[in-house]
Structures are given as C-alpha cells and as structure tokens.
Structure 1
Amino acid sequence: MTGEAVKQRVREYMRSWEMTEPGDGLLAGVSGGADSVCLLFLLDELKEELGIRLAAFHLNHGLRGAEADRDEAYVKEICGRLGIPLAVAHENVAEYAAARGISGEEAGRILRYEYMKETAEQFSCQKTATAHHRDDSAETVLFNMFRGSGLKGLSGIRPVRGEVIRPLLCLSRAEIAGYLEERGIPWCEDSTNGENVYTRNRIRNQLLPWVKENINARAPEHILAAAELAAQADAYFAELAEKLLADAGDLDRLPEDAGDVPEALAVSIPTEIFDRQPPVVQGYLVRAMVSRAAGSPRDISARHVEAVRALTGPGGGTEAVLPYGLRAVRGYDRLEVAPEKRLLSRAAGERALEAFPIKTRLLPYKKGMEIPKNQYTKWFDYDRIKGALSVRTRESGDYLMIAGGKRKLLKRFFIDEKIPEEKRASIPLLAEGSHVLWAMGYRISEFYKITENTRTILEVQVCKGEENG
C-alpha cells in the first residue's frame, strides 16, 4: 500500500468514527517508535484537511537509560522540524509500579493517560490520540481471552473511548512500517519489544506469527471481525441493562434540594425482574448496579458477578462482598447493591426491631367508631391491603401516600421531619411492598386510613415503644 493510500484510509477511518470536528485541538502521544511517529506524521499531513490543531506529548519512563533519552531527543527533533508544540514529562515508572504492586507495563499505561489528560488541558485540546493499530487490537483480544474475559474484553481496542481516539486501528504494523519507509522517515526501536518476557510480547512475536504462517495469514483481520461482533453485543446488553434499571430499578439518592444531609447511594431491582433475565443480562445488570452505586463507571470480575447471581435470599445466601466498599444484598423481593456502611446501618436497624413486637387483630367497622389516638396503636383499612405485610426497616423506594393522593418518598419525609440520619435506619416500618403503611412513632399513609367505606379494620399495636416518638 502506498503512503498516499495509507493517508486516505486513515482519513476515511477518522471520518467514519467521527473522531474529530473542525476546530478541535488534538494531542498525539509520541514515544518515538514506528507507530507513534507514523501517527504524528499522518496527523500533520491531515490537520489542514480535518481543520484541527495538533500538539504532541512524550513520556520518558526512566526505564531504558540512554535509549530512553535517545527517544526523547528524537521526538523533540521531529516535533521541532514539523513545528508541532511538544510537552515532555519524566517519571520513574519502576518506582511507581513497585509502590502500587502493579506491573511496569500497567504503570506506564496509567501514567501516560494521566499525563496526556493534563497536557491536553494545557494545550486546550479536546481530544487525545494514541497509536494503537490493528495488530495491537488483535493481540489484546487474545490476551484478554487467555486471561479470562467477558464481551467487553473480547471487543479489542475501541476506535473511540471518551476523548481518546485511535486513528491507526485501520492499519497493520506492516502497513505502518511501509508508510514510514516510503517517506524516508526513521523511528526508534524499543529494545524490549524483542524480549519475550511479557505475555503480550510472546503473543506478538511468537503466537500470532505462527498462526498467520500455519493457519491463516489473515488471522488478525478475522480476530478483529469477531471482536466487532463482541463489541456490538456488549453495547446491546449494556443498553438493555440500563433500560431495565431505568424502568424497574430504584436509585436511592437525595434530591438536589436536600441540603447537606448525608445519604448513602443504593441501587435495587425487583428480584422477580432480575430472575427472569438470562444469565448474560443478569451479569450486565449487576455491573450496571455496581457502577451506579460506586458513583462512576466501574468494572468487576466474573467471580463477583457470579457471587451475586448465586444469592438466593432469606433462608439461603443473602449477601455478597463486592469491590469499591460495596455489598449486594438479596431480600424477599429486591436485589440491592449499596455501600457496606449503609448496609451495616440497616442491619443495626433490623436488630432494633426486636424492641418493637406488635399485636394485630381484625375488627368489623361500624359507623361512628372512635379511631384510637394512641401513638402506638393504629387502625388501617384492611380491604385496601392486597399483598403481604412486613415489619422491617427502610429500603430503597419506600414511600407514603400524603393528602391529595400523592406519593412521598420515605427518605424525603424523614428529611422534612428533621429526623436525624443516625436514627432513620432504626425506625420500624409496617409495609406492603414499598408502600409504608406506618412509620411507627410518626405517621401512617393516607391511602390506608379509615373512611366511611371501610368494612374491616386492621388494628396494629406496638407492644414496646417507650423510646420512640
């Protein structure tokens, strides 16, 4: 493929994925190797046609001594020759990795993206570009598959991820080298690329060449075709999970006008809806709930997903410990993911129920009967109760009916009544599903109040309530 054909392919690829818009500033990560040098020169050729501003960033990892200094000097030389603004950062990646117990490769990746994000802001760049190419993506798919991965990991390297773009994913390593050779552009070789210490290097230098020679020369293309199907399936299931949560889930978050009253975030969904989903959708639901409860996009392992799916509820497994300080709890009718701190508070509240044993009886209603004014004895219209009643502490989505037939979240009621946060988890509730008949010691729902049409009364009496109300 000629250099002009390479440029045309990259231009069309960038347009098809809408990687940039006219007026964008674009920061390119340049290591000095063939891939990133190709990226820099191609973007420089295309910048006027695309209507973008171009800047560059180089990270000296401090790992390869004189070789790393050589790479930095070369990047400075080509950026100076092309008139492209350049920012250079120096880091001791080995120390960073050791301090965090991660590999040097992972440490370098983390630092590179962090510095590029900061540098993009300094240069007023809306996008950042990395030099990942088609072979990198195929290697990533195999690496993730061998290590164990879901659909997201099998999707390969995506062309666009937030503000990060990868214009060279339409090119192979050989096509990149051919472009540079045709234009007489040198590059720096990283001596560690030939070492088969890292798993990725063994896939790149040994496995894929053997597969192309002995099985199919177009194996990387076929791997990426399968990866694209995995990406489409991943997007579909993720969207389906979000829709299920939007339609049937409950997000326990304070309204914006709640002031600075603290409240833990909890996400729940009816077990009836969760259980009838196929296993793959249940997995995506769990991941979506974790991301919401954690407050930002997060991922968890298949082991944690299966631990949540295996919960059977009261009488069996009820809790699973998750990363990010979260727990999954399965009750009789809801599966909830919430911060452990919140759940411990709820557990304390449930233990407090032992101090509130109740007695119930049914009475025929007669016109003119005087409704008890006792704070711990309440009457309810029994005929309006259609489901099973429970005595428990608060859960996500609990509500009361107030005058005018309007719903009021129990959380909002607690805030309006200025009930201290530390006390809310221990207030006993009489509830029908999420509808609270009575927050004991406080108020009952308008929906269940006695009217002239009442035929049967449910009398509920708290036997021990001296400390509440």
Structure 2
Amino acid sequence: MLGTVHSFIKKHDLIKKNQTIVAAVSGGPDSLALLHFLTTIKEEYNLRIIAASVDHGLRGEASIEDVSFVEKAALQWGAEFFGTSVDVPAYKKRAGIGTQEAARTLRYQFLAEVMEKTGADRLALGHHGDDQAETMLMQLARRALPEAVQGIPVKRPFAGGFLIRPFLCLSKAEIQSYCKENGLEPRIDASNEDTEYTRNAFRKHVLPFLKEINPKLYEHMQHMSERVTEDRTFINNEAKKLLENVDMSSDEGGKAVLSKTTFQKFPLALQRSAFHLILNYLYGNQIEEISYLHEEMFFHLLQEQKPNASLDFPGNLRVIRAYDVITLTFAQPEEETAFHAPLYIGKQVTLPDGSMISLEAADSREEAGRYVYTCDSNHVSLPLIVRTRRPGDRLKLRGMNGSKKVKDIFIDQKIPAKERDTWPLVTDHDGQVLWLVGLRKGEGCTRDPSGTWLRLHYKNY
C-alpha cells in the first residue's frame, strides 16, 4: 500500500520537501490514516504537519469528542493541531441551503483560515478510490453531460496553495487494513450509514454490486477520472479560442453575444465546450440546473430555419436569436409600447429612443439618401402620422405593382423581431403607409405630382 501511495504522490507532484501540510481530520478511518501516514513521512520530507478538525454541532457530545480525539492523536504523533466548532444549523437557516452544503462551506472556510495562518502549502484530504467511484457514478446518474462526470480532482488550487488527495489510489478496504496494521482505532460516525443521504445509498447498495463484477473498480474509475480531466482540459483550452469571437460582458447581470455563422465554423465538440464555458461565465459556475436538454435546445436554436426565436433557461437567463446574432442575457426585455404622434409641416416628432422625424415644405422632389422621403402634398391628407406598426399594415413600394406587408419587409430586411414593434413608419391622416423609415419608401403619392412637395427627415442622435 505504501508503495502505491508514494508512486501516486510522485506522479501527481502532491508533496515536496520542506512543505507545510494541513490535514483535514474528522477522526474517521480515512482521515486518521492520512494523518498517521503524513507523520510517518515527516522526517523523510522535512514536513511540518498540522491537523485541523471541525465540530459541526450536529451530533452533540459525540462530535465534540471527535475533535478532542483528533487533537490527542495529532500531538501523540508529533503534529500541530487546530480545532473549532461551527453552528451548521444556524448557518443553514441563514443561507437557505441544505445541511451537507452548510457543513461543507463552514468546514472549508476554517481550513482556508488555518492554511493562511500557518502559511501552508498543501491541504490534504482523505478521500479514497471508493469515494471516487461513488462520486463519478452519482454524477453520471444525475447528469448526462460529459463535463459533469470528472470525479474528484487529485489536486487543485486552494487558499494560496493546493488541495491534495494522496489516497485516491487506495480502496476503502486497503485503508481499513492500514488502520488495523498500525493499531489505529478511528471514531465511527453513525450518520455514514444513513441511506437518506444519496452518497451513503450508493455506498451501501450500488458499489458492492459493481465490486463483485470488478474488484478493481476504484482503480479503473480513478484512471478514467484522470483521463477525462486531461481530455477536458485540452478541449477547453481549444474552446477558449472560439470564445475570442464571443463578446462577453458583465452588463445587466451578464451577457454574451456571438455570431451563429462564426460559432458553427468550429467542430461540434468545441461548440459544446464553448457553450458550457459561456454558461460558467454567466452563472458564475453555479449551473446545477443546466442539463443536456438545455444543450439540445441551444443547438436546435442554432440549426433551425426560423430567424427569430428565444429560449428561457434557469435563473432568468434568456437565449435570443435574431438572424445571425445569438445573445445570452439576464436582462429582462423592456415592455414595448405603441407609438402614435401627428406631424405637421414645419414641426418635428421625437421618438421614444430620442431620434426625430421632421416635416418641411420643399420646392423640389429631391431625396438624399435613405433617411429622407419626399411626397406630393395634393396626394396625402394632413397631418401625417408617425407611429409603430399595426397588424395588416401594407406599403405600396416604388417601382412595384401592388403592395407588400410591412411584416414581410421586416423579414426581407432581416430586422430582429425585438426591433420591429418599435420601428417607426409614417402614414398620412387616412392611414396610407408612406414610409417605413430607413427601409422602404412608398410610391403612391409621387405619381402625377401637383402642388407643394413635402420632405421628411429622420435623424438619430
């Protein structure tokens, strides 16, 4: 066993000489064995070993006695000791979270404090191979996304140093044998047998069956975890190149804007990874409610022919497609209101977005550009009306026979759906649509002209 652990430590660069290591110790078999093991290599590596133990306030005197037990063992084996008591029930109520999550949060806060106080390089935890197998099976059962099935990391940054798990290469049985061989008498937490906790149910009912099929299951799962982590790291690094084409900002609670065409130029595997990286950014890595169904919905949105569509994701995240532009945002859509205002000669109308349309008498039919429109005063009824679209609006286009629906013009011009209800158009007093501002001009009032010319100007400041 010891040879296996030493090889594992060397392979993953977990412990180096002259380091300070904090061991999280509950008093149970795994963490007690870890503390004992670390003290046996203390001289060889010239290590400073510190045991840290937490009373979560959940099991009365028993949990208080656990901390005292750990302190006694640590001092006996030449390690330093830090202990504390935390009020999990109070924190759970205050934060509105579950018991296990509250206990974990407070425990890691204390461990980080100990590391900072002591200047420790490593925080060692006693998770073993059976824990790894349980974790990966639970992840697989809960979520079908490959990103979610990576298991427990061997090493990760924590509190200015690294969190390490030297025993992931061992089975629970091997740790129990280590305790017996070295005369260790760990404390037993009865709550570990409570199958109301999902992990305990997997431990009691699922793992034994799988171990019968493959006694080396824990080794296979650890190798799989390492392989998946390596592959996922490579793919994510490649996917970050795709994110160079995505505009991500913290405006309005977080937003990401991308081009569908550019996004789809990359391989599908990188598109999927980039999608999850974007979600990690927007949700701040708190994306438990996202499932493979949301992934399928997103990619269906990219592939479908409908140019304007939207999706509602958990936490009020909206995914909006407007032709080639895909926007993921927490900003809620503003309530659009219809606009209607009369426009007289020599006057102007200010639109809700601050732009203006003015009307003046002119001595020629001259039109300069798409934001100027001229018509004949004898063929329109005044005052003119500036308003937003209505169902059934049609425009008789210059150079064409017949008329065309304003709705179809918006579609032809690829105007995003969210902009159509606020787009200004001009009619005469009888409702004849003259100008869909900036897009298309009507013909009817310019044939057989007589009388005064009227010129409309649109200005957006």
Q: In 2, distance between residues paired with 1:192 and 1:20?
A: 32
1:242 deviation in Å?
1.2
Q: What residue number does 1:230 align with?
A: 228
**Aligned residue type for 1:306:** E
Alignment CA distance shift 1:27-1:390 (3 Å): same
> Equivalent residues in 2 for 1:275-290 (5 A)?
275-277=264-266, 280-290=269-279
Equivalent position to 1:113, from 103, 108, 117? 108
**Aligned residue type for 2:225:** A
- Structure showing greater radius of gyration is 2
TM-score, with structure 2 as normaliser: 0.67
Q: What residue number does 1:66 align with?
A: 61
Alignment CA distance shift 1:93-1:391 (3 Å): same
1:44-67 deviation digits (Å, cap 9, x = unpaired): 222343344322211111122222
1:315 deviation in Å?
4.5
Q: What residue number does 1:441 align with?
A: none
1:33 deviation in Å?
0.3
Alignment CA distance shift 1:18-1:222 (3 Å): closer
1:188 deviation in Å?
0.6
**Aligned residue type for 1:267:** A
Q: What residue number does 1:440 align with?
A: none
1:69 deviation in Å?
1.9
Q: What residue number does 2:145 align with?
A: 150
1:462 deviation in Å?
8.2
Does the 8 A contact of 1:237 with 1:284 survive in 2? yes
> Equivalent residues in 2 for 1:105-254 (5 A)?
105-163=100-158, 164-213=163-212, 215-246=213-244, 248-252=245-249
Alignment CA distance shift 1:304-1:462 (3 Å): farther
* 1:306 matched to 2:296: yes
Percent of aligned positions that are identical: 28
Equivalent position to 1:49, from 41, 44, 50? 44
**Aligned residue type for 1:269:** L
Alignment CA distance shift 1:125-1:283 (3 Å): same
Equivalent position to 1:464, from 441, 458, 461? 458
* Count of equivalent residues: 368
Gaps of 5+ in 2: 338-350, 359-367, 373-411, 425-454
Q: In 2, distance between residues paired with 1:79 and 1:274?
A: 56
Gaps of 5+ in 1: 254-261, 359-371, 378-387, 394-425, 429-460
1:111 deviation in Å?
2.2
> Equivalent residues in 2 for 1:351-362 (5 A)?
none
Q: What residue number does 1:442 align with?
A: none
Q: In 2, distance between residues paired with 1:315 and 1:225?
A: 44
Q: What residue number does 1:273 align with?
A: 262
Q: What residue number does 2:431 align with?
A: none
**Aligned residue type for 1:464:** Y
Instruction: Give RMSD over aligned pairs.
Output: 4.1
Q: In 1, distance between residues paired with 2:310 and 2:354?
A: 21
Partner of 2:186: helix, strand, or coil? Answer: coil
